[in-house]
Chains A and B, each alone.
Chain A
Amino acid sequence: MERVPLERKVLSENDRIAASLGARFAAANILCLNLISSPGSGKTSLLERTLESFDRRERVAVLTGDIQTENDARRLARFGFPVRQITTGGTCHLDARMIERALLDWRLEDLDLLMIENVGNLVCPSSYDLGESAKIVVLSVTEGEDKPLKYPSIFHKSELLILNKIDLLPYVPFDVVAAEANARSIHRDMDIVRVSCQTREGMAEWLSWLDRKRKVSRAAAAAC
């Protein structure tokens, strides 16, 4: 038997498409964010709170992934920004080709922020890069503070942890400090923002994180 070395990524085809998307986003000066969480942690709610805070002239668009239904796109479309639903028909994550297809007839030059809501799932989306500038993981306080340890991949790969539903803290036994320590034991430099999409507490901090990111991405574009 002869052993032949291969040495390449299993998902090299997805990575290739993701890299080409990333290059197109960079060329069009777009900050692209990939939001990932379990079903129901509040990705769409966060996007609703975010879109409602924007001036209508902001060059912002959203892609939202679900296995079934157009519900999330409907919830998000009422803010007047371009929104497109990607229904995966069973697949538990978005992949780069789905993004490429969804963007076919969009003029990227008209955008500078693209937010992608991934399919509700804390595991699978972490394997598939979408050409994004950063992944963001949303964890809600009803899910338990051990989740970063149980699902380390997505915490390792996300730049920001949004700890959502903090309005429920009085009613659930959730140790915020332990949750954050668990996240940082996987990803030492992770940014963490505590929010409630219900009471809007913490929204200003999230929006300023987003603003900082947009400035950095604009500055990088201006430099090249």
Chain B
Amino acid sequence: MYAIKHQARGLVSHGVSTCQGCALELAVRVILDVLGERTIIVIPPGCAALFSGFGNETALRIPGVQGNLENSAAIAAGIRAGLEVQGKDDITVLALAGDGGTVDIGLQSLSGAMERGDRILYICYDNEAYMNTGIQGSGSTPYGARTTTTPAGKPTFRKNVLEIAVAHRIPYVASASIAYLEDFRRKIARARDAGGTAYIHLHSPCPTGWGYDPSQTIRVAELAVQTLCWPLYEVVEGKTRITVKVNKPRPVAEYLQTQSRFRSMTPEEIDQVQRTVEAEYQRLLERAEA
């Protein structure tokens, strides 16, 4: 037997207990690689808490605190305030929360922080359900998706928290995808330097909850972008720019077919998704050109 001892090169250790093919794991490594070690992280319960650690072990080489499900933004705002009164202004305060902790139970405290303009970087990794508690539906679960609390497929469309963030007039809002890492890295850096509240919403495929082979994570993420299900854009000081243009969109069915959670959708329902994403992309284009 060999004793394998290996220091992780980045700020995140090896052997974190996420599932195979988890987009979140790649995301955490990329985020901390861009932000560096002068970062304080806030993580609520959810799959990201696998990085908080267990007992006297943690997966992270930066300071951090695991908060509650609904208060990531508020804890981060408090950390920023504490640093500010001590004149420590070279530190990034990062909140990394799931869709449940962001768009549902955490929306109030996030809204409070955005309205006050607290200088925090809030990244929502969106795996489109409450995964850590067993794949229950969230406000970000897409139309038609089966979860353990939407067993017949979700009857309503997801809420668009990116636009809710934009409505708060914060300096930086962006969507991101794990399939477009350069785009994601650039957005993290911009968000860090935004000078106020910055919000990034990352599409974060989850093989366990979505029902696809773990080897397909990047392809699934890419298809979401290429079918217009997940447009990549940023809104800087209110100005919208599409960062990854999709000139020849593929039909949404190609994306939906990759995952068993959409299996019970009827052709009419798929058609409705098609029309919805097209209309929304059109509106985005118009806003970007205006």
Tell whether A pairs with B. no
Residues of A within 8 A of B (CB): none
Binding site for A on B (CB under 8 A): none
